[in-house]
Structure 1
Amino acid sequence: MRKQIRRALLGALATVLVPTGLAVTARPAQAAPVGDHVIFWNNVLLKTYRTAGGAPGPLARSGAMVHNAMFNAVNTINCHKTGTYDDFNCLAIDYTGFNPITNWANPDVETAIDYAAYTVLTSLYPNIGFSGDLAAAQDGIAVDAAQQQGRSVGAKAGQNMISNRDPLADQSGLTTAYTLVNEPGYWRPTGSGNAVTPNWGKVTPFSRYGEAYKSSFRPTPPGGYATMSSLLASGAYATQVNVVKSLGRATGSSRTADQTQAAWFWANDLDGTYKLPGQHFAHTQVVSAGRGLDQMANLRLFALVSAAMADAAVVASDANYQTPIDLWRPESAIQLAGTDNNAATTADATWKPLSADRNGVGFSPASPSWVSGHATVGSAWAETMKRYFGTDEITFTGGTDDPHAVGVTRTFTTLSAAAMENARSRIYLGVHYSWDVTQGYTAGTKVGTYVSNKLLQKVIGGGTYPTASECETKGDDFVYGNLIYSGYYCRGDSPTSWRLIFYPWM
């Protein structure tokens, strides 16, 4: 069936309740062969994750680039819905750069979404073909002036994102090798390879212009011990080791059957799966469908969720590599317990974690244990979802890609319950200590809160501030109804124009 092409510009489609973070469900999208184009490209992204593999940080960054480029493409159209640019009509500030539209032709929204996603994906994954996906997404859309202008807007939004996230500019391209410290307590390879993405904690986050905020989310040292020697000698450390030694071992563990299932359900560490960010994207789709969200609502939801996960991966990596405690994995701690100067730990040279590859060979992920990336990313996802929907009380049934849990589904009655089980599963899997997951969970929750409040900032006040150089200059607070907004000056409609924008006060 050919799609009836929308020409109305979404003003009524995407009313966002900024004070609460809730999105009002918009009019249903017109019928199309692929249905919701945001969901379509999210599925393409999951397929790409399975094909490309790699570490969670880069995959999460890719997801945030794709989804925020799609959002920015539609945002550009909304900004111009009167035919000329008016930032008070924008859905949010586009931090990637100005995207003007001339000779207004009511750009096709779905085409803009398609070309934004396609442009970013082809840049990030040049060895994977996306032409077939683009053709499927565009099937039934007439090639006319509106389609051509939608294509131009989408491609420009994608290019703006690519330029803004240039690997040299956002530091995702750093290649400095990890320096091993050959002393007890410090991370060392366990047979699963050298340290992965050791510089990822330096990557520029999506949710703020400055870099200083990352350290504000950095967890306190495990157990409060700032040096490795004091940490290893502590009773808290011995307790942590002995808990995972019992719960996380491959054979003879104290795990329940349900804990074992949860461990595998949330693992998704292996290439060929949709990995950590992909599982949360898949679960976002489930929740979205259950709540009846349309394309416009999904546009904002997935932009926020993707950015929260990307920024949480940066925060987790910062703790992994940019702090004095590059803590060894439980596998090393238990096998080498005779070297830790702690009488309450006992070495077991044969101990292996439940975590295993497709051949059943046990392994620990190739990065320091403190903090857990799964816990950090998962709690950032949950907090963002909670703030978007305005409630934690959402029941959903999710699936997994892990080959050790084929066909397994698990049902959760709250978003936070899913995130907490995801975090705890890393102990059952034998690859993290309890403090890795609790402190990672706390850090991720902070990231989710921050992203929800400050990423897609909406202009609701005007003004100019010609001397500001970044989005951190304090303006006046603004009272709207019974809510207080904090005003900051941020980039407006050109490199030399600045607008006073407001977001809910924290």
Structure 2
Amino acid sequence: MKRLRSRGLLAALTLVVGAVGAVVIPAQAAHAVAPADHTVFWNDVLLRTYRTVGGAPGPLARAGAMMHAAMWDAANSASCRLGLTANPVQDTCLGKKYLVNVTTVKYAGASAPVESTAIDYAAVTVLRNLYPGLNFDADLATAQQGVGTHNNQKEAVYIGQQAALAMKTARTGDGSADTTPYTEGTVPGAWRNTGSGSAATPNWGAVTPFSMTSGSQFRPQLPLGYASYSTLLASAGYAAQVNEVKSYGSAASTTRTADQTQLAWFWANDLDGTYKPPGQLFAHTTILAQLRGLSPTQTVRLFALVAIAMADAGVASWDAKYRTAIDLWRPESAVRLADTDGNAATVADPAWQPLSATASGVHFSPPFPAYVSGHATFAGAWAGVMQAYLGTDAVTWTATTEDPHAVGVVRTFTSISAAATENALSRIYLGVHYRFDADFGMATGDSVADHVFAHELTQWQQHGGVYSDMPACHGAGTALVSAGTYEEYQCLENANETAVLYVR
């Protein structure tokens, strides 16, 4: 698949920056009337839930993928009921199922289940399973305003619940509950607690992915290609990485510009009470979906693809952080302990602090290794899916943030790649990441996006022209599948015995 994004982090950014009091994405989930788009409605509920539960980004991204992928299966199942045929190309399905196509009819005569209701019950059932201590009854009541009790409605409830059950079953035992503690390294370069807490979700890189074959499928090279702490820390490249973030990411920096400071806070959202990094990208997805005028069926597919990609980005980045030969220390440790790294080009500053801070101003580094950046990996995955789905990188939109250090700040972007690049670079200016964390995080996320878009929720598309007969069509389809270009094919015979090839 041809990619549209900018590959380098030095791509030019065109930004319009201001400060206003309005919030682009509402914090509340409740709507005065039944929502026009049920996917957007439940995504708002998801972001409210993120603010409530907090925690590390991996589990939050997992929850998002569970909810949105189940919503897709529910919507797809309801749509499939409108017309199943002997040839899948002619079905009314929205696309390939993620886990399940609920085909069993529970209520007699229910030939047209209400798609929005199927979405509602998939979403609320997943959320209730994930967060039993929270109450989503009011959200469901809002979503279901004005809906009757006919059999098509009841069938839709059943479909949504079954899609959620399939998701719960699939994710049971996926490794997300592994709390095996992490043993910190002691050699220079190895990650250690900087005062913000013990290692967070150290086993997340081993969680079963939603689409990837494993967390290591797109594992990046080790930092600068070095296989040991000592060789990495002794290199000129390492010194350049440390000195850049030491200068630009310091709380007391005189080299960081006002705009760089603002974008550092804009993309942070590390603190509990915000929608966190995955939530901010979901919020941007809402803006772009509405800006492009996507239909409800287009929106449910887009959000499911974004959610699956971000969940796998979380697994991939945590694999790189914790499951390789180098669990790299944060810049805070690198600068303060530079006199132990054996590199004459770095100078220790025991008082150095990153710009990153709590709402009360206490400076901190996130409690997990630096390489690769989770923000950058999420951004790369998000951008890749958005570009592939929308078919363009050139979109202009304005968004805000929930980080307490940038309340009321809005930024305008002229491309998807510009937003993702800024997200990645922001971690250098915040003082919590090196440039190679951003570079290779973006690249990893990009690979995740390519994989997800090629393999998940795919839709039939015609390939080539008209074939002379069915054997010729089948031959072409078999060759494409054998080459790995597509996963499956179907041939449709015309009245004159010629054939048309469809692939996905």
TM-score bin (small chain): 0.7 to 0.9
2:29 is aligned to none
Q: 2:355 touches 2:429 (CA, 8 Å); kept in 1?
A: yes
CA distance in 2, matches of 1:99, 1:19: 34
Letter of the 2:58 counterpart: G
Letter of the 1:150 counterpart: A
TM-score by length of 1: 0.84
1:172 is aligned to 176
CA distance 1:189–1:93, shift in 2 (3 Å): same
1:289 is aligned to 290
CA RMSD across the alignment:
2.4
2:233 is aligned to 232
Render the CA deviation track for 1:321-353: whole Å, top value 9, x for unaligned.
Answer: 010110000000101111111111111010000
Q: 1:476 touches 1:487 (CA, 8 Å); kept in 2?
A: no
CA distance in 2, matches of 1:501, 1:406: 50
Helix, strand or coil at the partner of 1:409:
strand
Helix, strand or coil at the partner of 2:232:
helix
CA distance 1:267–1:337, shift in 2 (3 Å): same
Render the CA deviation track for 1:231-268: whole Å, top value 9, x for unaligned.
Answer: 01111111110000000000133100000000000000
Letter of the 1:101 counterpart: T
Give, in angstroms, the shift of residue 117 of structure 1: 0.0
Matches within 5 A, 1:170-319: 170-208=174-212, 210-211=213-214, 214-319=215-320
CA distance 1:128–1:413, shift in 2 (3 Å): same
CA distance in 2, matches of 1:250, 1:446: 33
Q: 1:80 touches 1:101 (CA, 8 Å); kept in 2?
A: no
CA distance in 2, matches of 1:330, 1:135: 48
Q: 2:79 touches 2:115 (CA, 8 Å); kept in 1?
A: no
Structure 2, unpaired ranges of 5+: 5-31, 463-476, 490-500
Q: 1:336 touches 1:347 (CA, 8 Å); kept in 2?
A: yes
Matches within 5 A, 1:4-153: 33-82=34-83, 87-88=88-89, 89=91, 90-102=93-105, 103-105=108-110, 106-153=112-159
Structure 1, unpaired ranges of 5+: 1-17, 22-30, 462-474, 490-499
Letter of the 1:196 counterpart: A
CA distance in 1, matches of 2:241, 2:345: 11
CA distance in 1, matches of 2:262, 2:460: 46
Give, in angstroms, the shift of residue 180 of structure 1: 1.0
Q: 2:122 touches 2:163 (CA, 8 Å); kept in 1?
A: yes
2:469 is aligned to none
CA distance in 1, matches of 2:321, 2:503: 34
CA distance in 1, matches of 2:154, 2:420: 42
Give, in angstroms, the shift of residue 95 of structure 1: 4.0
CA distance in 2, matches of 1:274, 1:97: 29
1:428 is aligned to 429
Letter of the 2:132 counterpart: P
1:338 is aligned to 339
Matches within 5 A, 1:354-503: 354-458=355-459, 476-478=478-480, 485-487=485-487, 502-503=503-504
Letter of the 1:477 counterpart: A
Helix, strand or coil at the partner of 1:487:
coil
Aligned residues: 446
Give, in angstroms, the shift of residue 33 of structure 1: 2.2
Helix, strand or coil at the partner of 1:397:
strand
Which of 168, 184, 187 is the matching residue for 1:162?
Answer: 168
Letter of the 1:58 counterpart: P
CA distance 1:488–1:204, shift in 2 (3 Å): farther
CA distance 1:83–1:149, shift in 2 (3 Å): farther
Give, in angstroms, the shift of residue 37 of structure 1: 0.5
Give, in angstroms, the shift of residue 501 of structure 1: 9.6
Give, in angstroms, the shift of residue 83 of structure 1: 6.8
Q: 2:73 touches 2:101 (CA, 8 Å); kept in 1?
A: no
Give, in angstroms, the shift of residue 360 of structure 1: 0.3
Helix, strand or coil at the partner of 2:487:
strand
Please state if 1:352 is matched with 2:353.
Answer: yes
1:466 is aligned to none
CA distance 1:241–1:19, shift in 2 (3 Å): closer
CA distance 1:260–1:144, shift in 2 (3 Å): same
Render the CA deviation track for 1:79-135: whole Å, top value 9, x for unaligned.
Answer: 222378975423333242352232341111111010000000000111111011001
Render the CA deviation track for 1:361-410: whole Å, top value 9, x for unaligned.
Answer: 00000000000000010011011000001000011111101000001110
CA distance in 1, matches of 2:388, 2:461: 20
CA distance in 2, matches of 1:458, 1:83: 15
